[in-house]
């Protein structure tokens, strides 16, 4: 079910509307990561504002350049963790557009829905972002105490949170907030597994830029597959 949903999302890449949203998502991801990178460079320049003198070596003028290049490599590594909250932010901005493109192509007989208001989208996004960041900060303790289990904790935690958020937003378009919550709780094992499978490529630098939009499309397909298998009706909004 999950892999089929992802394959259908991938197959829609040639769709001009879908591709336009995809590149907007990639551009926004790069912009957000670039802003964080700029802050890192400013901190480097603040801490290393001039040449440093080392014993027996003398002045070292290339340290800031070395740190600058090091920060670029570090930024690629940091994107493994940063793309999780970035993916959350992009979902709230673009999911409705992505979901509509998916439904127009694969589920054309469905009635139109009333889009979620911008305010509700921002409120949900900010609330989930806080939960995501808070949960990962708490998880740092577990990473230190259980280093061997750290990858499982990281992907399990973020897979659960991302799956919960993506499915909630996808289902909320047609079921409302309460209806989406009931359906999500009923099918949480499947949604959790889909979230983990999305978190895995989010930890691959450069590849992770394309995952937020593909994830939104995947969870749209997943929602429709779950409601179809459950024999549920598709409310109009």
Tokens of 193: 């597994």
Q: DSSP per residue over 198-220, as a string? A: HHHHHTSTTGGGSHHHHHHHHHH
Domain ranges of the chain: 2-229
What is the per-residue pLDDT for 60? 46
Q: What per-residue confidence (pLDDT) applies to 237?
A: 42
Q: Which pLDDT tens digit goes with each residue over 30-66?
A: 787 777 666 766 766 666 555 544 444 445 454 455 4
Q: Which tokens hold the place of 108?
A: 């054309």
Taking the C-alpha atoms of residue 168 and residue 176, their distance in angstroms, rounded to an integer, is: 9
Strand partners, 52: 60
pLDDT of residue 176: 83
Q: Which residue has the tokens 């659960």?
A: 160
What is the pLDDT, as a whole number, of residue 129? 73
More reliable by pLDDT, 112 or 84: 112
Q: Give the confidence band of 219 by pLDDT, cuts at 50, 70, 90.
A: very high
Q: What angle do CA 41, 30, 143 make, to 5 degrees?
A: 70
Closest CA to 106 of 183, 197, 16, 217: 217
Of 56-60, 168-172, 186-190, 201-205, the poorest mean pLDDT is in 56-60
Read off φ and ψ for residue 57, nearest 5 degrees: -115, -40
pLDDT of the residue at 220: 92
Pairwise CA distance, residues 154 & 160, whole Å? 10
More confident position, 139 or 189: 189
Q: pLDDT band at 202, cuts 50/70/90?
A: confident
* Pairwise pLDDT comparison (158 vs 115), residue with the higher score: 158
Q: How far apart are CA 182 and CA 184, in angstroms?
A: 5
Mean pLDDT of 165-173: 87
Percent of the chain whose predicted confidence (pLDDT) is above 70: 72
For residue range 64-103, list pLDDT tens digits in order.
554 555 555 666 666 666 677 777 677 667 778 888 889 9
Cα torsion angle, 75, 46, 134, 21, sign = negative
Residue among 156, 175, 165 nearest 227 (CA):
175
* Torsion sign, CA atoms 35, 160, 131, 18: positive
| Contacts of the segment 118-126: beta carbons below 8 A, 24+ positions apart | 121/92, 121/93, 121/96, 122/92, 124/92, 124/168, 124/169, 125/88, 125/89, 125/91, 125/92, 125/93
CB atoms within 10 A of CB 72: 12
State the chain's mean pLDDT as an integer.
Answer: 77
Confidence check: pLDDT of 117 > 50:
yes
Closest to 160 (Cα-Cα) out of 198, 130, 122: 198
The answer to whether the beta carbons of residues 127 and 88 sit under 8 Å apart is no
């Amino acid at each position: 079910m999950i892999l089929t949903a992802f394959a259908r999302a991938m197959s829609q890449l040639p769709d001009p509307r879908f591709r336009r949203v995809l590149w907007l998502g990639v551009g926004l991801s790069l912009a957000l990561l670039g802003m964080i990178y700029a802050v890192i460079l400013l901190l480097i320049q603040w801490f290393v504002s001039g040449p440093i003198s080392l014993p027996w070596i003398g002045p070292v003028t290339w340290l800031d350049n070395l740190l600058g290049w090091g920060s670029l490599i570090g930024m690629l590594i940091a994107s493994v963790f940063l793309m999780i909250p970035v993916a959350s932010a992009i979902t709230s901005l673009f999911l409705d557009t992505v979901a509509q493109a998916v439904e127009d192509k694969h589920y054309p007989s469905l009635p139109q829905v009333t889009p979620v208001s911008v305010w509700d989208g921002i409120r949900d996004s900010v609330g989930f972002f806080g939960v995501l960041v808070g949960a990962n900060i708490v998880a740092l303790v577990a990473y230190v105490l259980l280093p061997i289990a750290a990858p499982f904790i990281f992907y399990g935690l973020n897979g659960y949170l991302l799956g919960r958020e993506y499915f909630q937003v996808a289902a909320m378009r047609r079921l409302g907030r309460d209806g989406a919550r009931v359906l999500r709780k009923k099918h949480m094992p499947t949604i959790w597994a889909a979230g983990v499978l999305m978190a895995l490529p989010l930890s691959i630098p450069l590849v992770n830029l394309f995952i937020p939009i593909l994830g939104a499309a995947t969870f749209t397909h997943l929602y429709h597959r779950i409601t179809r298998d459950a024999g549920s009706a598709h409310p109009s909004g």
